[in-house]
Structure 1
Amino acid sequence: MFPVFPIGPSGPWGPVAVLSVAVASALAAPAALAVTPFVLKDIRVEGLQRTDPGTVFAALPFRIGDTYTDDKGSAALRALFATGLFKDVRIEIEGEVAIVIVDERSIIGAVTFVGLKEFDKDPLTKSLRDAGIGEGLPFDRALIDRAEQEIKRQYLGRSLYGAEVVTTITPLERNRVNVTFTMTEGDAAKIKDIRIVGNSVFSERELLDLFELTPTGWFTWYSKTDRYSRTKLNADLEKLRAYYVNRGYLEFAIESTQVTISPDKQTISVAISVKEGQPYTVTAVRLEGDYLGKEEEFRAFVALRPGQPYRGDAVTATGKRFTDLFGLYGYAFARIEPRPEIDRATGQVVVVFAAEPSRRVYVRRIDVAGNSRTRDEVVRREFRQLEGAWYDGGLIKLSKERVERLGFFKENIEIDTNEVPGSPDQVDLIVNVVEKPTGNLIVGAGYSNAERLTFTASVKQENAFGSGNYLGIELNTSRYQRTLVVSTVDPYWTVDGISRAIDVFYRTQRPINSLGDTYDLKTPGASVRFGVPFSEYDTVFLGVGFERTEIGTAAGIPLSYLNYRALYGDKTNSFPLTLGWSRDARDSVLVPTAGRYQRVNLEWAAFGDVRYLRTNAQYQEYWQLPLRMSVGVNAEIGWGKGLGGKPFPVFKNFYGGGLGTVRAFEQSSLGVVDPTGAYIGGAKRLNVNTELYFPVPGTGSDRSLRIFAFVDAGNVWREDETITGESIRSSAGLGLSWISPVGPLKLSWGKPLRLQRNDRIQRFQFQIGTAF
């Protein structure tokens, strides 16, 4: 958003400055204007066009019947100028009458923009209005000039060095004016090259790979990393400094930075001069100060080891660990000062950590600020730090994480620790949150080469009425599976944190590649599920549901479904019980690069017409690699068995093949094939995926666009079929994932490594979804 211009009374061309000039002019010769005090018999105002006379009289420090003096006249001038409505004010005395003569400022009729492309119009209009430039506000040429210069500075911040801003003032009737800002933006200046001089230990290419800013390349049209920004350059210089310091170069320094722009203002060259210094090796780590008699416990948290190169990140990490450990013992204001003792002759350094724990405190009160919609109790029930208890930094950190996981507030929730005046052993915690919209009305469409065009719609409220409860309605019109679901979740159904979720749904489905488009299988039902927390990170889910399955006789129905109908009937009821557990510790849901995700779900239909057991387990883990690469492994196993001497119900089968399972095989084509040609899946599934992610050259640290290489293996089997290594299908290939402006996009091209003669191959596969 365009920033609010810092125009105020203290500015060089602000209202106070103009007032001072006007008042000084009016009072330049007080001796000549001096009048003998007299009693006012009348006050007249001349020159008003739009301003209400009452506004003038309200500002005057005198009334009819008062004694008029020069001091009161001067005060009247100051008060009238301070209203900002007048560009000139005079007071004339005729006998015992004071005549106030004003020259009104013009009023702005409209503010318009011509040629504006780089900025959004609405935020810019709001920023100008906040600065005193807007429809219905008094016209002030000084403010307009200041705004013009500020807009130019904003263009410079976006590398538009050739941008020009011209302001046109158009007079209108009734002392009004239109203000028009005409922008000639031109093209953004691009970085031609970045040079580093003075380096010998590391190559220039290796160092430039650290930078977010890059010269113009193949993908900079998307990443815009070739647009110069002083803020981004400073951040890159800090990365450069950290790179050296973390490899032992304790005295590394950036001596100069030169930024040169071409005469046509279209290209920029950056030259950075560095002084590397010598590397230092840590010979010892010494603890000084008061460590509460727990030096050995603190020493276990030291991230530096003697004999290793000095690392600045390890020093910072050690200081933070010490601070956190002091916090665990109730010392909220502990100070840790790292001091390197350098021996330049030998290239050795002793790192000293001096500690001053200050005093132990306990929490008097916890207040929540900024929650204009969410109830206090929704935040408080996530807190593990209690009022009246000793300050515990670990519990406060955990509490902050739990509040952030609610998803009701913007990122960077802050918890301030304030001392209580007069009570040195007490603190108050202030939880500062910023509400964000938690309701979503989404209409979406998606396309894949298996499902073709699909339509989705949902109305969701994650924080209904500020209670922390969830309400939602979802609709999906997939070609092969259509769904209508109404859901509600109460995360604190009990005070102990047991959650309750209720779902009511209506689903229709038919196997992929089945004959005809009129056939479907209908499943209305409902379920209730409870989540019982067993630790801060683990929750076990228990639930029960009701499902009714209806199979018609429309043309194209698969033979396996007709067999099910003959065995169980055209309408069957089941009451599945569910037991599940999950934990998500990935660093991102959309583009994970580190962390682990685990889940297990068991479904047991022990009552009703259809009885079966169905379980599904998944494990994912991601690891970061050098050069901004990462690797991810996903393993999933599914198993189902019919109970009561009857086979596993066909409509509960697992499916395999395509994106999400084994790529390069046609979507859901693995497993059993019905005599009609429909893919009906199987009662067993095994799936293992490995992906190696590469950053796209020229995108810097942007993870929304990534290239990956993959190897997939797996298959789907019948209930009575044995899983063997020979039956495993596998594939390998390359892909592209992009969190695009129109939704997540995933492309893959693969080649089967292990296949059988009748397998359906589909080398190129893609899927894209959008919301609008």
Structure 2
Amino acid sequence: MACFGAASRFTPSVRFGRWLGAALLLGLSGQNVTALESFVVEDIRLEGLRRNSPGTVFNYLPVNRGDKFDAELSVLAINRLFKSGLFRDIQLQRDGNVLVVVLDERPAISFIEFNGNKQLKTDDLRRALRGVGFAEGRVFDRSLLERVEQELQRQYFTLGRYGVSLQSTVTPLDRNRVAVQIDIREGEVARIQHINLVGNRAFDDDTLLSELNLTTGGWFTFLTNSDQYSRQKLAGDLETLRSYYLDRGYINYSIDSTQVSITPDKEHVYITINMTEGDQYRVNEIRLVGNLIAPEEELLGLMKVKSGDVFSRKSVTASTEAVTDRIGHEGYAFANVNPVPDIDPATKTINLSLFIDPGKRVYVRNINFSGNTRTRDEVLRREMRQMESAWISTQHVKRSQERLERLNYFDNVTVETQLVPNHNDLVDLNYRVVERPSGNLMAGVGFSQSQGLLFNASIQQDNFLGTGKRVGFAFNNSKVNTVYNLSYFNPFIDVDGVSRGYNLFYRTTDAEEANLSRYTMDIYGLGVNYGIPISEFNDVRLGGEYDHTELKTTSESAQEIFDFIRDNGESYHAYRLVAGWSRDTRNRSILPDSGVMQSFSARVALPLGDLKYYKVSYRHQWLYPLTENYTLSLDGEVAYGDGYGSTHSLPFFENYTAGGPRSVRGYEDNTLGPRDSRGRPFGGNFKMVGNAEIILPVPFAENAKSFRLSAFVDVGNVYASIDDFEASDLRYTAGLAALWVSPLGMLTFSLAKPLNKKPGDETQAFQFSIGTTF
């Protein structure tokens, strides 16, 4: 048997290079000529295969029966077999006219085990290694393992763990397999000791450092980990610095270099950022160029940057988006608006031109819905403000999405604009929803500081049979109220969006348990109401109510209650007319973060009943995003009521109250305002309450739509009459609040401090309510 070539146990490139060199040397010297004599291959025999199939080898082997085999072809054959990565040793031998291929297969990886990894999950490590071809069942390659170790080390470096050490152990197993064990010592995170800024003159170090996510050690860094260095965080902070300067007119700002130094123990990091600020520029002139579509004056009015302002990249981007959105309202969904600055270094000014290319007007072919496994398509379709076969309006598309979100049937609503194949002026709108449970069958227990232990049972379906109608029966029991309520609501009784609702109820109230005057009240009644949309954001409400009230007193009841019963009796029938108007542009009905809501309501007890009175109220809520993560909320309410005709004052059980989580936090429920003859809270006929909140980002829960954290200032009080109003009597509190829309209902928590407490005030710093709706 003649041997055409052999590869000893070196790396493939070394083995191949040594074999080729030996072959060339033999060929030049003329020795062993018979061993290299060419021959016609009559057959091919493979030896040494245990795991790979013959077909796999023949796919790589460039030799077939009938081929003339020579030294050149043998070099090519060995080269291709080595490149497959499947073999660590290859020999080509001749047995007569039979080519014998002797193969030594690389071992297969039986399993991979990680020890000591805590910061990187084992599943994530396995996925990462699988992506580079190092996985169980694959061929083991020592050089690939070395690259794997380098990649793992790099990943730990990005986490700031520069003291990481890796030790790999390869254990041979039977049937040509190996076990790989990677022991990891993650080490400690390198913490930032100092950040040095060089070259800043317009802004001091403290101002710039406050903009960065990376910080040196502080009181709360053990929670935020902001003092732990990572390359990604530093890259983000460098971009933050660049944006900070560009938004303040420094268009030539540049970061010249960044040095990161690590102490020998690899536990502390020193960062130096060298920058050049350049000069500050202002906007001189703004021009709109191209096919404007909309009136030029209107588009200029949308610009967030004005002539004479300090140049701001953020304002220019917002202006571009506003102009794009306005043109998109006319059907040009793919309009291209490019801001081009003309910089004049001599005057330090910029002439800003917006080049507008609207493209073709786009029409909507189909509007499709997906994810609504329970809700009928017609319920979603009636919320659409974008119509099929009409040109697309980006504003109508967005408004349609908001209306779907306001239904509260869905956890998430997204919309995708998809071009119709082979058409550049047709799109399909695909709305995808994620439904939330809309039916509740509950029996439970809760607790409220103001109402004590709560027992409740309810059957309610907010989206009955997917029709959008709401039906329900509820029972609630607390030390203040026992309530039975049967309700029905249809949000669309016709194509114009008119709504109608009915309710039937029975309620008992122990006012003393609500921190009010001592009396009890039994009341039952029913009501019907209609909602009539008069525009996209404006609604009018009309309705009628009837109830029957029974008052009960005790020997401890106040004289005011006895006087009222003496004049009006203790049993009353009331027929009320209810009317209201609201304008609501908020993006969500629950936990909104932008928009305005105004409402006015009036309730008048008609002369048909035993008591004649009226109540009117006005509420205004304004939400304004200050930044991407912070929102300002201003909320205020003014309410007034009085009697008329033979009823000389507002019935005391209809009095307004204030204090507690729903009005002025930090004071006990219903304790603000006038007192009765026994010194207990009695309420009044005029209420004024205001609230200012900064909605804060929720740590560890970005984009949370069911949880809210805020810092607030509350102000308010109740007065016996509007003539008694004195601004000096208003109470102020400040604090923190959290709100969670849980499966049990709305959970509220607040910690407040009264700022101008007066003698006799009843305060309560921490307030919470669990298991009841807000």
CA distance in structure 2 between the aligned counterparts of 1:474 and 1:179, rounded to whole angstroms: 62
Following superposition, the deviation at residue 693 of structure 1 comes to 5.1
Following superposition, the deviation at residue 321 of structure 1 comes to 3.0
CA distance in structure 2 between the aligned counterparts of 1:509 and 1:144, rounded to whole angstroms: 75
Q: Given that residues 449 and 765 in structure 1 are in contact (C-alpha distance below 8 angstroms), is that contact kept between their aligned partners in structure 2?
A: no
Q: What is the 5 A alignment of 1:8-407?
A: 188-228=189-229, 230-291=231-292, 294-369=295-370, 371=372, 374-407=375-408
Query: For residue 18 of structure 2, what is the aligned residue in structure 1?
Result: none
Following superposition, the deviation at residue 126 of structure 1 comes to 11
Q: What secondary structure does 1:244 align onto?
A: helix
CA distance in structure 1 between the aligned counterparts of 2:227 and 2:163, rounded to whole angstroms: 16
Counterpart amino acid of 1:219? F
Following superposition, the deviation at residue 684 of structure 1 comes to 1.0
Distance change in 2, residues 1:764/1:383 (3 Å):
closer
Q: What secondary structure does 2:378 align onto?
A: helix
Counterpart amino acid of 1:724? D
Following superposition, the deviation at residue 668 of structure 1 comes to 1.4
Counterpart amino acid of 1:668? N
Match 2:719 to one of 716, 719, 732: 716
Distance change in 2, residues 1:480/1:166 (3 Å):
farther
Q: What secondary structure does 2:602 align onto?
A: strand
Q: What secondary structure does 1:216 align onto?
A: coil
Distance change in 2, residues 1:618/1:276 (3 Å):
same
Q: What secondary structure does 1:385 align onto?
A: coil
CA distance in structure 2 between the aligned counterparts of 1:131 and 1:540, rounded to whole angstroms: 64
CA distance in structure 1 between the aligned counterparts of 2:551 and 2:108, rounded to whole angstroms: 77
Q: Given that residues 712 and 737 in structure 2 are in contact (C-alpha distance below 8 angstroms), is that contact kept between their aligned partners in structure 1?
A: no
Q: Given that residues 514 and 558 in structure 1 are in contact (C-alpha distance below 8 angstroms), is that contact kept between their aligned partners in structure 2?
A: no
Distance change in 2, residues 1:286/1:652 (3 Å):
closer
User: Does the alignment pair 1:736 with 2:739?
Assistant: no
Q: Given that residues 591 and 708 in structure 2 are in contact (C-alpha distance below 8 angstroms), is that contact kept between their aligned partners in structure 1?
A: no
Q: Given that residues 515 and 671 in structure 2 are in contact (C-alpha distance below 8 angstroms), is that contact kept between their aligned partners in structure 1?
A: no
Query: For residue 760 of structure 1, what is the aligned residue in structure 2?
Result: 761
- The answer to which of 481-490 and 248-257 deviates more is 481-490
Q: Given that residues 629 and 697 in structure 2 are in contact (C-alpha distance below 8 angstroms), is that contact kept between their aligned partners in structure 1?
A: no
Query: For residue 511 of structure 1, what is the aligned residue in structure 2?
Result: 511
Query: For residue 667 of structure 1, what is the aligned residue in structure 2?
Result: 669
Q: What secondary structure does 1:206 align onto?
A: helix
User: Does the alignment pair 1:433 with 2:432?
Assistant: yes
Counterpart amino acid of 2:756? P
Q: What is the 5 A alignment of 1:590-609?
A: 595-606=595-606
Q: Deviations 1:570-617 (Å, cap 9, x if unpaired)?
A: 765545443233344467888888653322233334355665433332
User: Does the alignment pair 1:581 with 2:584?
Assistant: no
Counterpart amino acid of 1:684? N
Query: For residue 14 of structure 1, what is the aligned residue in structure 2?
Result: none
Following superposition, the deviation at residue 341 of structure 1 comes to 1.8
CA distance in structure 2 between the aligned counterparts of 1:266 and 1:458, rounded to whole angstroms: 58
Counterpart amino acid of 1:745? F
Query: For residue 749 of structure 1, what is the aligned residue in structure 2?
Result: 753
CA distance in structure 2 between the aligned counterparts of 1:180 and 1:670, rounded to whole angstroms: 70
Distance change in 2, residues 1:288/1:727 (3 Å):
closer
Q: What secondary structure does 2:756 align onto?
A: strand
Distance change in 2, residues 1:326/1:157 (3 Å):
same
Following superposition, the deviation at residue 724 of structure 1 comes to 1.8
Equivalent residue pairs, number: 720
Query: For residue 97 of structure 1, what is the aligned residue in structure 2?
Result: none
- The answer to which of 360-369 and 721-730 deviates more is 721-730
Query: For residue 14 of structure 2, what is the aligned residue in structure 1?
Result: none
Identity %: 31
Distance change in 2, residues 1:455/1:219 (3 Å):
farther
CA distance in structure 1 between the aligned counterparts of 2:211 and 2:670, rounded to whole angstroms: 43
Q: Given that residues 583 and 598 in structure 2 are in contact (C-alpha distance below 8 angstroms), is that contact kept between their aligned partners in structure 1?
A: yes
CA distance in structure 2 between the aligned counterparts of 1:173 and 1:641, rounded to whole angstroms: 94
| CA-atom RMSD in angstroms | 6.5
CA distance in structure 2 between the aligned counterparts of 1:551 and 1:530, rounded to whole angstroms: 30
Q: Given that residues 549 and 573 in structure 1 are in contact (C-alpha distance below 8 angstroms), is that contact kept between their aligned partners in structure 2?
A: yes
TM-score, structure 1 as length reference? 0.70
Following superposition, the deviation at residue 430 of structure 1 comes to 2.4
Q: Given that residues 515 and 670 in structure 2 are in contact (C-alpha distance below 8 angstroms), is that contact kept between their aligned partners in structure 1?
A: no
Counterpart amino acid of 2:339? P
CA distance in structure 1 between the aligned counterparts of 2:166 and 2:130, rounded to whole angstroms: 18
Q: Given that residues 511 and 519 in structure 2 are in contact (C-alpha distance below 8 angstroms), is that contact kept between their aligned partners in structure 1?
A: no
Structure index of larger Rg = 2
Q: Given that residues 192 and 216 in structure 1 are in contact (C-alpha distance below 8 angstroms), is that contact kept between their aligned partners in structure 2?
A: yes
Q: What secondary structure does 1:433 align onto?
A: strand
Counterpart amino acid of 1:428? V
Following superposition, the deviation at residue 735 of structure 1 comes to 2.0
User: Does the alignment pair 1:499 with 2:499?
Assistant: yes
Q: What secondary structure does 1:313 align onto?
A: helix
CA distance in structure 1 between the aligned counterparts of 2:167 and 2:518, rounded to whole angstroms: 64
Query: For residue 84 of structure 1, what is the aligned residue in structure 2?
Result: none
Q: What is the 5 A alignment of 1:611-650?
A: 612-621=613-622, 633-642=634-643, 645-646=646-647, 648-650=650-652
Q: What secondary structure does 1:413 align onto?
A: strand
Match 1:655 to one of 637, 654, 657: 657
Q: Given that residues 219 and 697 in structure 1 are in contact (C-alpha distance below 8 angstroms), is that contact kept between their aligned partners in structure 2?
A: no
CA distance in structure 2 between the aligned counterparts of 1:497 and 1:620, rounded to whole angstroms: 24
Distance change in 2, residues 1:108/1:297 (3 Å):
same
Counterpart amino acid of 2:719? V
CA distance in structure 2 between the aligned counterparts of 1:343 and 1:566, rounded to whole angstroms: 85
Q: Deviations 1:499-552 (Å, cap 9, x if unpaired)?
A: 334445554432245799998544455544332211211222233445454556
Q: Given that residues 372 and 435 in structure 1 are in contact (C-alpha distance below 8 angstroms), is that contact kept between their aligned partners in structure 2?
A: no
Counterpart amino acid of 2:730? S
Kindly indicate whether structure 1 or structure 2 has the higher relative contact order, using CA contacts under 8 Å at least 6 residues apart: 1
Q: Given that residues 370 and 434 in structure 1 are in contact (C-alpha distance below 8 angstroms), is that contact kept between their aligned partners in structure 2?
A: yes
Query: For residue 535 of structure 1, what is the aligned residue in structure 2?
Result: 535
Q: What secondary structure does 1:399 align onto?
A: helix
Q: What is the 5 A alignment of 1:471-486?
A: 478-483=478-483, 485=485
- The answer to which of 731-740 and 173-182 deviates more is 173-182
CA distance in structure 2 between the aligned counterparts of 1:319 and 1:138, rounded to whole angstroms: 54
Distance change in 2, residues 1:487/1:114 (3 Å):
farther
Following superposition, the deviation at residue 476 of structure 1 comes to 5.2
Following superposition, the deviation at residue 427 of structure 1 comes to 0.9
- The answer to which of 339-348 and 565-574 deviates more is 565-574
Q: Deviations 1:459-485 (Å, cap 9, x if unpaired)?
A: 776555554445666665554345455
Distance change in 2, residues 1:203/1:483 (3 Å):
farther
Counterpart amino acid of 1:510? D
Query: For residue 87 of structure 2, what is the aligned residue in structure 1?
Result: none
| Structure 2, unaligned runs of 5 or more | 1-37, 44-48, 57-64, 67-104
CA distance in structure 2 between the aligned counterparts of 1:387 and 1:471, rounded to whole angstroms: 32
Q: Deviations 1:678-713 (Å, cap 9, x if unpaired)?
A: 53x335132233547598999999998978574624
Distance change in 2, residues 1:638/1:303 (3 Å):
closer
Distance change in 2, residues 1:208/1:404 (3 Å):
farther
Q: What secondary structure does 2:288 align onto?
A: strand
CA distance in structure 2 between the aligned counterparts of 1:349 and 1:454, rounded to whole angstroms: 65
| Structure 1, unaligned runs of 5 or more | 1-31, 38-45, 49-55, 60-68, 71-102
Query: For residue 22 of structure 2, what is the aligned residue in structure 1?
Result: none
CA distance in structure 2 between the aligned counterparts of 1:458 and 1:121, rounded to whole angstroms: 45
CA distance in structure 2 between the aligned counterparts of 1:131 and 1:481, rounded to whole angstroms: 66
- The answer to which of 729-738 and 403-412 deviates more is 403-412
Following superposition, the deviation at residue 407 of structure 1 comes to 4.3
Following superposition, the deviation at residue 766 of structure 1 comes to 3.3
- The answer to which of 185-194 and 388-397 deviates more is 185-194
CA distance in structure 1 between the aligned counterparts of 2:373 and 2:629, rounded to whole angstroms: 40
Q: What secondary structure does 1:723 align onto?
A: helix
TM-score, structure 2 as length reference? 0.70
CA distance in structure 1 between the aligned counterparts of 2:191 and 2:456, rounded to whole angstroms: 41
Distance change in 2, residues 1:744/1:610 (3 Å):
same
Distance change in 2, residues 1:287/1:120 (3 Å):
same
Q: What secondary structure does 1:668 align onto?
A: coil
Q: Given that residues 518 and 555 in structure 1 are in contact (C-alpha distance below 8 angstroms), is that contact kept between their aligned partners in structure 2?
A: no
